[in-house]
């Protein structure tokens, strides 16, 4: 087992796990100073490419962005999302995981689903692929509007079974997305591997958000997203100053010329 994976597992019940997304070297270099896990999420589909679904993201895109991110990381665990239709069976999942790891030098893959993918997770782990699970709202399978999970008794039972199945299969952690607070608390106490929440309350062992969202680079209006700064305003101000100096012939001065 990767020493970085062991470090993450050992944080359970001791220290909150900080996870953020990155799609480029520049952002990765900055957040690596503060994160335990950097996730190259298929959320890049909507954040960077304006896709209306993560299903349009392919493996080549994920690999190229992860290679860029890897160049900016020194300490964090690097996880790549396996995109839609790249792990429909054990053989396909292993082939694509091995390719992703070989070409990006990442530490682990993340796949969506619970009990229905537990055999695939187990097969990957047996073949030395570290896997981060993902249950609750799974964007690759959502059709229409996102709806939080764990409200009904039936959903609660399924979430618990899914989490236990992933743990048994060898996943080193599980992302809980848009899961009700009471059930995320129960799952976190029930399993021995870390839970990483996104819209799943403070009860999880860690938290993940899309970096572009917390910086205000996107216009996302999502209940669980807290914007810590409005980078759009800062960029707008800098670009305005540049335009003004160019038009008034103040830039470039001799200092900025050869």
3-state secondary structure of 94: helix
pLDDT the model gives residue 90: 98
Closest CA to 197 of 156, 166, 225, 169: 225
pLDDT the model gives residue 225: 94
Residue 220: which pLDDT band, with cuts at 50, 70 and 90?
A: confident
Neighbouring residues of 45: CB distance < 8 A, sequence distance ≥ 6: 51, 53, 54, 56, 57, 61
Burial of 249 (0-12, 13-18, 19+ CB in 10 A): exposed
Fold of 3-227: TIM Barrel (3.20.20)
Q: Which residues of 211-243 are buried (b: 16+ CB within 10 A; e: fewer)?
A: bbbbbbbbebeeebeeeeeeeeeeeeeeeeeee
pLDDT the model gives residue 30: 98
| Global pTM value | 0.96
Give the up-direction half-sphere exposure of residue 220: CA atoms within 13 A in the CB hemisphere.
22
- Partners of residue 39 on adjacent β-strands: 21, 79
Q: Are 177 and 195 in contact (CB under 8 A)?
A: no
Q: Is 177 designated active site?
A: yes
Q: Are 206 and 196 in contact (CB under 8 A)?
A: yes
Average of per-residue pLDDT across 191-211: 98
| pLDDT at 1 > cutoff 80 | no
| pLDDT at 144 > cutoff 80 | no
For 45, 67, 210, the CA distances from 72, given in Å and listed in that order, are 21, 9, 17
Average of per-residue pLDDT across 198-224: 95
For 22, 41, 83, 243, the CA distances from 47, given in Å and listed in that order, are 11, 10, 15, 26
Domain ranges of the chain: 3-227, 230-258
| pLDDT at 171 > cutoff 80 | yes
- List the alpha helices (DSSP H) in 170-226: 181-190, 211-214
CB atoms within 10 A of CB 76: 25
Average of per-residue pLDDT across 210-221: 93
Can you tell me the distance from the alpha carbon of 9 to that of 184, in angstroms, rounded to the nearest whole number?
Answer: 17
Can you tell me the distance from the alpha carbon of 186 to that of 82, in angstroms, rounded to the nearest whole number?
Answer: 27
Can you tell me the distance from the alpha carbon of 39 to that of 173, in angstroms, rounded to the nearest whole number?
Answer: 13
pLDDT the model gives residue 2: 84
Mean pLDDT (the chain) is 97
3-state secondary structure of 231: helix
Catalytic, out of 29, 92, 177, 245:
177
H or E stretch at 62 = helix 59-70
Average of per-residue pLDDT across 58-86: 98
| pLDDT at 145 > cutoff 90 | no
| pLDDT at 23 > cutoff 90 | yes
| pLDDT at 83 > cutoff 80 | yes
List, for residues 89-117, the tens digit of each pLDDT value: 999 999 999 999 999 999 999 999 999 99
pLDDT the model gives residue 219: 87
């Amino acid at each position: 087992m990767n020493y970085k994976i062991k470090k993450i597992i050992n944080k359970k019940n001791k220290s909150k796990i900080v996870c953020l997304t990155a799609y480029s070297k520049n952002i990765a270099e900055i957040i690596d100073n503060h994160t335990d896990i950097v996730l190259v999420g298929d959320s890049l589909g909507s954040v960077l490419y304006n896709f209306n679904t993560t299903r349009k993201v392919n493996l080549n895109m994920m690999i190229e962005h992860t290679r860029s991110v890897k160049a900016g990381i020194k300490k964090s665990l690097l996880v790549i999302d396996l995109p839609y239709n790249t792990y429909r069976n054990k053989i396909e999942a292993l082939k694509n995981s091995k390719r992703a790891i070989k070409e990006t030098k990442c530490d682990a893959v993340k796949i969506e689903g619970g009990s229905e993918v537990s055999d695939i997770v187990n097969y990957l782990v047996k073949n030395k692929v570290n896997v981060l699970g993902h249950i609750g709202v799974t964007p690759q399978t959502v059709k229409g509007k996102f709806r939080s999970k764990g409200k009904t008794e039936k959903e609660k039972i399924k979430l618990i079974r899914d989490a236990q199945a992933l743990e048994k299969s060898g996943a080193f952690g599980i992302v809980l997305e848009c899961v009700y607070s009471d059930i995320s608390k129960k799952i976190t106490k029930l399993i021995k591997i870390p839970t990483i929440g996104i819209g799943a309350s403070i009860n999880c062992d860690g938290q993940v958000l899309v970096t572009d969202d917390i910086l205000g680079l996107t216009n996302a209006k999502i209940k669980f997203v807290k914007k810590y700064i409005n980078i759009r305003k800062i960029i707008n101000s800098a670009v305005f100053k540049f335009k003004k100096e160019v038009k008034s012939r103040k830039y470039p001065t001799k200092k900025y010329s050869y």
